[in-house]
Amino acid sequence: MRDPRYDILFEPVQIGPVVARNRFYQVPHCCGMGYARPKTAAAMRGMKAEGGWAVVSTEECDIHHTSDISPYIEQRLWDDNDIEQHSLMVEAVHAHNSLAAIELAHSGRMAPNHFSRTIPIGASGGPNPGFDPVSARQMTLRDIRELRAIYRRAALRARAIGFDIVYVYAAHMLTLPAQFLSKRFNHRTDEYGGSLENRVRFLKELIIDAKEAVGDRCAIAVRWMMDEMMGEDGLQCDEEGIEVVSMLAELPDLWDVNVSDWDNDSATSRFQPEGFQEPYIQRVKQVTSKPVVGVGRFTSPDTMVSQIKRGVLDMIGAARPSIADPFLPKKIEEGRLDDIRECIGCNICITGDYTMTPVRCTQNPTMGEEWRRGWHPEIIPAAKSAESVLIVGAGPAGLECAVALGKRGYQVTLTDANDDFGGRVLFESALPGLSAWRRVLDYRMQQLHKLSNVETYLSSEMDLDNIIEFGADRVVIATGANWRTDGFGRERYIPVPGSDQSWVYSPDDVMNGLTLQGQVVIYDDDHFYMGSVMAEVASNLGAEVTIVTPAPDVSHWTHYTLEQQAIQQHLAKLGVAIRVQWEIKEIGDQSVSFDCCYSERHMLLSCDQIIMVTSRQPNDELYQSCVDNMDQLRSAGVLTIDRIGDCVAPGTIAAAVYSGHLWARQLGDDDSDSELPFSRELIKVSA
């Protein structure tokens, strides 16, 4: 039963000519599916509508071949050939009485047009702001008129497809309307340049054009950035940011407000708390009577209600929380708050866009698998037998496997050698900035407490004899992995000379209580978050810290999670010395030597302690022991012995959770007749 305190969240909201059935709004977000995987995308978006999101949006949808952002896979609406794939998403969303929104976009000079091979266009000419050796030409007045017509045709196609809300996208400087507004990108001297009134003209015309074309049936939304978070060098909230909204306040039917650029808008939990965009969203609400959507990685219904009642916003916008739990609205409505899979703000979902692969999630292993595997986040097939399962290891893989098997109805026993559940999640969530990651553990423990068919045992180190004595039908080893100290990693495949010395440590030593002091060197050949976190730990303890990496910058892979810049800025503020493009050569007597990755230069650093953040090694001794003694296990009635998670191959926490869920889902399945374990979307070749 719904708590009356949350009734306000389920009030309908009028948006121009359409009505949203509640205040939950899945704002546009990338998913790595786009035009290449329309069935996958439609099933994912439809799942959110089923879960209670009253509005479900596409990601960025390019409206013309002059806005080709290949190789990234977003949506396209270049011509009528793209209509059919969009219809799949609209039908999936409408099937659950939700509104479908499309984010029409043109990337202007941000689009390198690698596929279309068209010269990019911009408010002004100039190089592509990325690293592509491409330049845009300045649009003529005729170009502007033609592009307005292109936007209009795209809006008409969107209405014909059945979309209920049509966006004019003007955020993140990724779009042409935003570039017209920017003093950095607009150097024109005609009626579209110079004063703010002139620079806002193009956006205003697009809104009016859309209203005239489809406003009778479709709501017109504007996605707007209130602040570029770069001071006077960019758009600022209390200056031109709010002035633009004031000038256009009543033109659109809805304002979707955020900050720019994407790194700031989708900041990780390591650097921004829930609801951090409130000051920017609230400014918009003060100058318009139209509904305002805002984001802030909302997972707490109390925070949602507070922002609505205080007049911050009208609708709860979400991208990442809707990925972590597509059924978040329905769980609030049904009073099942303990069942919410809260977003941890790790941004592993965003890596799907950068790797051009379907979105994934640490909390929700079914994300991206709705169509290709037929997985539902809240429904799992019942057990196909009365078999019992013993899971050894209660880290993220073991916990997820136990929950999924328990919900299927299997008799499950989960053991762990430690005194607490959680494995790596327990330890990593105690590190600076990562406390939200404990939600991975907390959610699964909440679920286990509800399952009477799952027994748990801590401080229970298992060996071959224990497993034989236990007598389970199936055994799953989920004993995780440990950080190496020998330097084996991406650059080196043999141990570093001197790495066996007593003052060489790993992140595991730090997480187990090692005191860092004196001169500390962090060697990072992992390139994700751990190296920078270790540097922060050491700095917080007062050590003199140097982080060294063979990569071109610190925590290089976190470009994919939108936090690399924040990480490097944070370390610089802490006073951490940063040395990039150096490969470790040898560990001497209280010193470490490095070779430059691109020259004959050498570097020697004195240090009292070195933390090797290079790679992890599976803790698979128990698994290997079982495999070597399979005859004994079979004699004891054990049918299979398998391993999951980091015990197979160390990876992300998301990968470990997925591994555990996959094993639980597949138990009892017979895939012998299938060459592929999942469906894939194929290109139709016509004559």
Dist. CA 271–CA 285, nearest whole Å: 26
Closest listed residue to residue 207, CA positions, set 168, 177, 171, 238 = 168
Residue spans of beta strands (DSSP E) within 149-217: 165-170
CA distance 354 to 170: 21
Query: Amino acid letter at 627?
Result: V
Separation between Cα atoms, residue 503 and residue 144, nearest integer Å? 65
Structure tokens at 571: 């370390």
The set of catalytic residues is: 30, 169, 172, 265
CA distance 603 to 582: 8
- Taking alpha carbons only, the member of 492, 463, 481 closest to residue 624 is 463
**Is 323 in contact with 41 (CB distance < 8 Å)?**
no
Task: Give the other-Cβ count within 10 Å of 379's Cβ.
Answer: 8
3-class DSSP assignment, residue 485:
coil
Query: In sequence order, which residues have a C-beta less than 8 Å from that of residue 276 and are 6 or more positions away?
Result: 267, 296
Q: Which of 46, 37, 110 is nearest to 73 (CA)?
A: 37
Residue 113 amino acid letter: N
Write out the H or E segment, with its range, that includes residue 564: helix 564-574
Instruction: Indicate the burial class of 528 (C-beta count within 10 angstroms; 0-12, 13-18, 19 or more).
Output: middle
Say which residue the tokens 């039963």 belong to.
1
Contact 424, 511 (CB under 8 A): no
8 Å CB contact between 348 and 437:
no
Q: Which two tokens stand for residue 318?
A: 């979400």
Q: In what order do the strands lie in the sheet with 591-596?
A: 582-587, 591-596, 602-606
The span from the CA of 660 to the CA of 2, in Å, is 32
**Could you say which DSSP state residue 547 is in?**
E
| Cα dihedral across residues 51, 55, 60, 63: positive or negative | positive
Tokens of 615: 């790679």
Q: Closest Cα to residue 295, out of 165, 171, 442?
A: 171
* Residue 356: CA count within 13 A, CB half-sphere: 7
> What CA–CA distance (Å, rounded) separates 24 from 542?
45
* Residues, the chain: 687
Q: What is the dihedral of CA 74, 80, 85, 86, to 10 degrees?
A: 70
Please say whether the beta carbons of 300 and 316 come within 8 A: no
